[in-house]
Amino acid sequence: MDPRQILRILIVLSGLNGVCDALLCNCTAPHCERDGFKCETNGACVASTSVIEGQEQHVRLCIHKEKLVPPGQPFYCLSAEGLMNTHCCYTDYCNSIDLRLPIVTNGPGAGQDWGPVELTAVVAGPVFVLCVLVLLGLFLFQHHQRAYGHRQRLEVEDPSTEHMFLAKDKTLQDLIYDLSTSGSGSGLPLFVQRTVARTIVLQEIIGKGRFGEVWRGKWRGGDVAVKIFSSREERSWFREAEIYQTIMLRHENILGFIAADNKDNGTWTQLWLVSDYHENGSLFDYLNRYSVTIEGMIKLALSAASGLAHLHMEILGTQGKPGIAHRDLKSKNILVKKNCTCAIADLGLAVRHESITDTIDIAPNQRVGTKRYMAPEVLEESINMRHFDSFKCADIYALGLVYWEIARRCNAGGIHEEYQLPYYDLVPSDPSIEEMRKVVCDQRLRPNIPNWWQSYEALRVMGKIMRECWYANGAARLTALRIKKTLSQLSVDEDLKI
Ligand SMILES: *[C@@H]1O[C@H](CO)[C@@H](O)[C@H](O)[C@H]1NC(C)=O
């Protein structure tokens, strides 16, 4: 059996509750009111006491088994010194306790009223599980190293913490991803987000934008990206956090959101948005640095279409998702993951559509997208703002421009061109709306699709898609789903393993 598989099974087994019996817990959540403030679960009961903005808060909840990740130290069971005192337990109504206020404590949530037996169990249990896992991890790691020694040498990460051994297969991000796809999909509960955010150590600044700065941070040995908004941009911060927490939004090709937090340090408010970290940076940076193979091009294009298709798609039902249009799609707002697929980011300008009431929750801030990527109807202000599909069509136009940027860097047959922004040859470097409108609407010009692309099937298909993304009439453009299907078919035809 593959060592990764063994490790995965071990992780599952160490989830502490192999029994499927329903567990009854004390529950303070509003939705438990009609059940007499109790809930039933296959996981754990949790009690949490925290001080948030000077207010003492007591929370009692059920946590489902699938959400008890990472094993041994689930997010939901974390205590944070001085912030939050949390206790997970596994017997009926065991969370009907009043935890002390979070003060600096020794040991994992050791309550005063705990006998020596419980204390020993609480300390020895996890330590034992951890030791076994670390030893096994070490063994499998070495085995793995021996087997894949050459190929892996470059990838070995700093093994200074045992977390990294476990994370070799499952990263922090994967765990959060599992957590939210198996659950309601709307992300971590707020009090956990706050705890995660406040225990991140910022490492280095990796970007600056109109909203503030982006940092690389460390959380429990893993990298995370932290977008820090200036206090003025509170609305943008709130809006982006709100969009990212849309139910069922999570998707492998949309940037994984981890937490939002507003820290008030007395003089100003720090607004944080924590997400997955991708060391390759944006697609823009990536294309500037590297050319891509035909396979690489299809992978980038297909994954971007998948992400956008998921964003656009409306899922009906109680666990449904509204349709979302991005409104600022461009290569700088798409990240490249380690496996060379895309993750769509920067959802601060997005709009959501509720089909039942047919309403669009237009972003309260009046910022519009990036001029260079604006669809003709946006430049002309002829877009029908009441019709949600028109925003989707504008996204597709921008996606076509992104495809052009990618395809130019494709080194089919040893030829590829320098990286350029779309319309680089037609407008100045920081074009005004008027300059863009002249080129895109009046002259009806589009980026050049070279003739030699016709001699390569993949480039020919990409060129065709671009043309069909760039129609002046938004409604005539392709849909993200159609593009995704065309590219999936292309990857099959090109015999790619994607
Ligand atoms: C939940 O815990 C609180 C505090 O200990 C207690 O007052 C309440 O009766 C409990 N509720 C249930 C349903 O057990």
Please give the full DSSP string across 416-458, using - where no structure is assigned.
-PPP--TTTTTS-SS--HHHHHIIIIIS-------GGGGGSHH
Q: Tokens representing 409?
A: 């860097």
Atom of ligand 1 nearest to the CA of 38: 13
12 vs 70 pLDDT, higher one: 70
Query: Considering the domain 151-276, what is its CATH architecture?
Result: 2-Layer Sandwich (3.30)
Can you point out the beta strands (E) in 90-237?
Answer: 201-208, 212-219, 222-229
Measured CA to CA, the distance from residue 398 to residue 366 in angstroms comes to: 20
328 vs 73 pLDDT, higher one: 328
pLDDT at 279 over 50: yes
261, 276, 328, 346: the active-site residue: 328
DSSP codes of every residue in 356-417: TTTEE---SS-----GGG--HHHHTT---TT-HHHHHHHHHHHHHHHHHHHHHTB-GGG--P
Name the pLDDT band for 498 (thresholds 50, 70, 90): low
Q: Which of 57-61, 433-437, 462-466 has the lowest mean pLDDT?
A: 57-61
Q: Which of 35, 46, 48, 96 to mutate to test the pocket of ligand 1 (most atoms within 8 A of CB)?
A: 96
pLDDT at 150 over 70: no
What lies within 8 Å, CB to CB, of 98 at 6+ separation is 49, 58
Q: Are 261 and 80 in contact (CB under 8 A)?
A: no
pLDDT at 443: 96
Q: How far is the CA of 14 from the centre of ligand 1 (A)?
A: 30
Helix (H, G, I), strand (E, B) or coil at 173: helix
pLDDT at 18 over 50: no
Q: What is the mean pLDDT of residues 142-166?
A: 38
Q: Where are the domains of the chain?
A: 12-141, 151-276, 283-493
| Dihedral pair phi/psi, residue 168, rounded to 5° | -50, -40
Q: What is the pLDDT of residues 287-323, one digit of tens each?
A: 999 999 999 999 999 999 999 999 999 988 777 789 9
Q: Decide: 367 in ligand 1 pocket, CB within 6 A.
A: no
Nearest CA to ligand 1 atom 9: 96
Nearest CA to ligand 1 atom 8: 96
Q: How far is the CA of 26 from the centre of ligand 1 (A)?
A: 6
Measured distance between the N- and C-terminal CA atoms of the chain, rounded to whole angstroms = 23
Q: Decide: 290 in ligand 1 pocket, CB within 6 A.
A: no
Nearest CA to ligand 1 atom 5: 96
Q: What is the pLDDT of residues 180-231, one digit of tens each?
A: 444 444 566 776 777 778 888 899 999 987 788 999 999 877 899 999 998 8
The answer to whether 328 is a known catalytic residue is: yes
Q: Decide: 26 in ligand 1 pocket, CB within 6 A.
A: yes
| CATH number for the domain whose boundaries are 283-493 | 1.10.510.10
Q: What is the pLDDT of residues 38-63, one digit of tens each?
A: 988 888 898 888 766 667 778 888 88
Residues 231, 233, 239, 240: is their CA dihedral positive or negative?
Answer: negative
pLDDT at 107: 41
Q: What is the mean pLDDT of residues 157-183?
A: 41
Q: Decide: 33 in ligand 1 pocket, CB within 6 A.
A: no
Count other Cβ atoms within 10 Å, centred on residue 325: 24
Domain 12-141, CATH among 3.30.1280.10, 2.10.60.10, 3.30.365.10, 1.10.1130.10 = 2.10.60.10
Measured CA to CA, the distance from residue 63 to residue 369 in angstroms comes to: 40
How would you label 437-460 residue by residue, b for 16+ Cβ within 10 Å and e otherwise? bbbbbeeeebbebeeebeebebbe
pTM of the model: 0.65
Measured CA to CA, the distance from residue 67 to residue 88 in angstroms comes to: 12
Q: Decide: 37 in ligand 1 pocket, CB within 6 A.
A: yes
Q: Tokens representing 3?
A: 């060592």
Residue 227 known to bind ligand? yes
Q: How far is the CA of 94 from the centre of ligand 1 (A)?
A: 10
Q: What is the mean pLDDT of residues 262-271?
A: 76
Q: Which long-range contacts (CB under 8 A, 24 or more apart) does 283-286 make?
A: 283/331, 283/332, 283/334, 283/335, 283/336, 283/342, 283/402, 283/405, 283/406, 284/330, 284/331, 284/332, 284/334, 284/405, 286/336
Q: Which of 25, 37, 113 to mutate to test the pocket of ligand 1 (most atoms within 8 A of CB)?
A: 37
The alpha helices in 153-251, defined as continuous H runs, are: 162-167, 172-182, 190-198, 234-244
